């Protein structure tokens, strides 16, 4: 979609809105621009001291306007040195024999000495500029910058830098490093308020924006109360905590207003009243952000799956399972014994056993060779066998129930439960189950890694949901890896 088409669609959407919707849209757009302008001012203020040398060189009007806001004034020492230097140069060029030139040379030496010893660049944080100037003085007498910390050496360097003869002095001025002069011009100091803090009047510029943000926040809060958006009245500032932090009139909380601009943008994007978020720029950013997100998430997923695979190959999962189960072995025994007792003593279970026994006894009279060999008629033998069988069954069930409720029966059940659990966790069948589960788990992880490694963002739209699996017919020339047990790095047969 071209920009012209997007603008036409936006204009058409606005024309279809009613007056109230247009006002809402205009207000939201206005607040977005206000938030962006305020954010730009905050960033400019935070970076001003750092970028002031650049503004001073290439845009001096900026420093002339904004220096009073930060309480910045030219440093008296460096200003006096530059003024004296200009007057001396003018006097030498006009008349090298003027008596005042000697006084000015002595003043240049004194100011230079003070510059070296008083370090007027420290308060403005321009240590690099100070070091550059000091090394210029030190190189003139072939010493290091550290040596100028000694007052006598600093005095000697200042005297040697400014010679007595007019010709030598003019040559020194003409050959002076332009960067030294520039660093002297850029130097400044900041004034203090009555409370002892550095002057910073940015709050005066920020106050109108802060008042407007407070009004907008209170209006939104009132509307939320009227619409019953939240269950309690105090939920609104909690859910909009980023706005609350940005409204605090303290410099450290000003960067939180960036979140206000983001929230306003998201409101316009979700709104049906605007086409924000549907433009080519937003879609391009979203496209590349999705690529970055997918790449990062895929790398993390592959790392997790690889580590999980290594743990399964090492048998760590089995050791962990056993270390977790063993301390609970007694509790598992109790649960298993209780379940066995309840099953064997349950009335419904006993009745079903009786029904099964009766059916077996009826079939036994007809099918058993031993019973048919008894010389009695069937109508006599069948009731007799059924009666004897039921008596034996009832006696057996009563005996079992009584035994289970005794201490000896409970001990026997615990022995049975212990044997069953030992066979489950340490029996020969467990090794086969572990081997099979390990092989299946490794194959599943390998196929998951194959899926994750696919760059879905590079696929066509109809294939981005999921690439074909190796065993699917859509995969050309693929075979089922489960048929031969092959998988990545698996040595198990």
**What is the pLDDT, as a whole number, of residue 381?**
61
Residue 288 lies in a domain: no
Using a 10 angstrom Cβ sphere, with 0-12 exposed, 13-18 middle and 19 or more buried, the burial of residue 224 is middle
**What is the pLDDT, as a whole number, of residue 97?**
86
Q: What is the largest CA-CA distance in the chain?
A: 163
Pick 185 or 451 by higher pLDDT.
Answer: 185
Of 426, 448, 467, the last residue of a domain is 426
**What is the pLDDT, as a whole number, of residue 111?**
93
Mean pLDDT value of segment 320-347: 72
pLDDT tens digits along 286-318: 677 777 877 788 888 888 888 878 877 777 767
Say whether 98 sits in a helix, a strand or coil.
Answer: coil
Integer Rg of the chain from CA: 46
Residue 354 lies in a domain: yes
**What is the pLDDT, as a whole number, of residue 44?**
93
Of 133, 163, 190, the last residue of a domain is 190
Residue 207 lies in a domain: no
Highest averaged pLDDT of the listed ranges 79-83, 317-321, 463-467 = 79-83
pLDDT tens digits along 362-377: 666 566 666 556 666 6
Q: How far, CA to CA in Å, does 161 sit from each of 31, 110, 116, 155, 173? A: 59, 11, 12, 10, 10
Residue 131 lies in a domain: yes
DSSP secondary structure of 313-362: HHTHHHHHHHHHHGGGHHHHHHHHHHHHHHHHH-HHHHHHHHHHHHHHHH
DSSP secondary structure of 20-36: HHHHHHHHHHHHHHHHH
Q: How far, CA to CA in Å, does 248 sit from each of 14, 100, 173, 213, 241? A: 35, 59, 53, 11, 11
Residue 91 lies in a domain: yes
Highest averaged pLDDT of the listed ranges 223-237, 411-425, 434-448, 479-493 = 223-237
Which residues face 188 on adjacent strands? 74
At residue 197, does pLDDT exceed 50?
Answer: yes
Residue 130 lies in a domain: yes
Distance CA 476, CA 74 (A): 77
Number of domains within the chain: 2
Of 431, 213, 149, 205, the closest CA to residue 315 belongs to: 431
Residue 303 lies in a domain: no
Domain of 354? 323-426
Q: Are 52 and 44 within 8 A, CB to CB?
A: no
**What is the pLDDT, as a whole number, of residue 229?**
82
Distance CA 302, CA 293 (A): 14
pLDDT tens digits along 246-301: 888 887 787 777 777 677 666 666 655 555 555 666 667 667 777 787 778 888 88
Segment holding 190, helix H or strand E:
strand 188-190
At residue 154, does pLDDT exceed 70?
Answer: yes
CB atoms within 10 A of CB 411: 11
> Is residue 142 very low, low, confident or very high in pLDDT (cuts 50, 70, 90)?
confident
Distance CA 110, CA 9 (A): 72
**What is the pLDDT, as a whole number, of residue 68?**
92
At residue 489, does pLDDT exceed 80?
Answer: no
Of 372, 401, 426, the last residue of a domain is 426
**What is the pLDDT, as a whole number, of residue 267?**
65
Using a 10 angstrom Cβ sphere, with 0-12 exposed, 13-18 middle and 19 or more buried, the burial of residue 220 is middle
**What is the pLDDT, as a whole number, of residue 51?**
92
Highest averaged pLDDT of the listed ranges 63-67, 213-217, 223-227 = 63-67
Portion of the chain with pLDDT greater than 70, in percent: 72
Residue 347 lies in a domain: yes
Mean pLDDT value of segment 409-419: 74
Mean pLDDT, the chain, rounded, equals: 77
Q: Are 465 and 454 within 8 A, CB to CB?
A: no
């Amino acid at each position: 979609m071209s920009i012209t088409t997007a603008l036409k669609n936006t204009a058409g959407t606005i024309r279809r809105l009613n007056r109230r919707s247009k006002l809402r849209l205009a207000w939201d757009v206005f607040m977005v621009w206000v938030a962006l302008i305020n954010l730009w001012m905050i960033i400019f203020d935070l970076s001003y001291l750092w970028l002031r040398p650049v503004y001073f060189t290439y845009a001096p009007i900026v420093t002339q306007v904004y220096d009073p806001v930060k309480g910045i004034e030219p440093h008296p020492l460096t200003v006096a040195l530059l003024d004296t230097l200009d007057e001396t140069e003018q006097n030498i060029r006009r008349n090298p024999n003027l008596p005042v030139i000697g006084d000015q040379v002595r003043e240049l030496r004194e100011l230079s000495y003070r510059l070296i010893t008083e370090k007027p660049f420290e308060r403005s944080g321009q240590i690099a500029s100070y070091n550059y100037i000091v090394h210029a003085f030190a190189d003139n007498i072939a010493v290091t910058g550290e040596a100028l910390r000694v007052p006598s050496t600093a005095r000697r360097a200042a005297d040697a830098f400014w010679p007595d003869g007019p010709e030598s002095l003019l040559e020194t001025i003409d050959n002076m490093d332009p960067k030294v002069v520039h660093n002297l011009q850029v130097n400044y100091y900041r004034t203090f308020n009555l409370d002892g803090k550095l002057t910073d009047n940015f709050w005066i510029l920020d106050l109108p924006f802060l008042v407007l943000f407070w009004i907008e926040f209170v209006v939104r809060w009132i509307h939320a109360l009227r619409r019953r958006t939240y269950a309690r009245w105090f939920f609104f500032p909690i859910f909009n905590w980023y706005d609350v932090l940005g409204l605090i009139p303290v410099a450290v909380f000003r960067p939180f207003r960036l979140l206000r601009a983001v929230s306003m943008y998201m409101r316009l994007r979700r709104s049906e009243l605007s086409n924000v978020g549907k433009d080519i720029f937003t879609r391009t950013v979203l496209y590349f952000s999705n690529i970055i997100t997918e790449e990062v998430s895929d790398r993390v997923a592959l790392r997790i799956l690889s580590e999980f695979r290594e743990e399964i190959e090492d048998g760590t999962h089995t050791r962990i399972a056993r270390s977790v189960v063993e301390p609970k072995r007694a509790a598992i025994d109790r649960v298993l014994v209780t379940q066995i007792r309840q099953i064997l003593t349950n009335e419904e279970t006993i009745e079903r056993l009786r029904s099964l026994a009766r059916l077996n006894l009826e079939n036994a009279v007809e099918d058993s060779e031993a019973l048919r060999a008894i010389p009695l008629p069937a109508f006599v033998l069948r009731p007799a066998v059924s009666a004897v069988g039921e008596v034996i069954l009832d006696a057996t069930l009563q005996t079992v129930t009584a035994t289970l409720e005794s201490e000896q029966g409970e001990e026997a059940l615990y022995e049975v439960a212990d044997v069953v659990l030992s066979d489950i966790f340490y029996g020969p069948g467990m090794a086969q189950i572990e081997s099979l589960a390990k092989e299946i788990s490794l194959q599943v992880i390998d196929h998951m890694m194959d899926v994750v490694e696919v760059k879905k963002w590079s696929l066509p739209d109809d294939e981005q949901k999921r690439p074909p699996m190796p065993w699917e017919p859509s995969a050309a020339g693929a075979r089922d890896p489960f048929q031969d047990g092959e998988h990545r790095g698996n040595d198990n047969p």
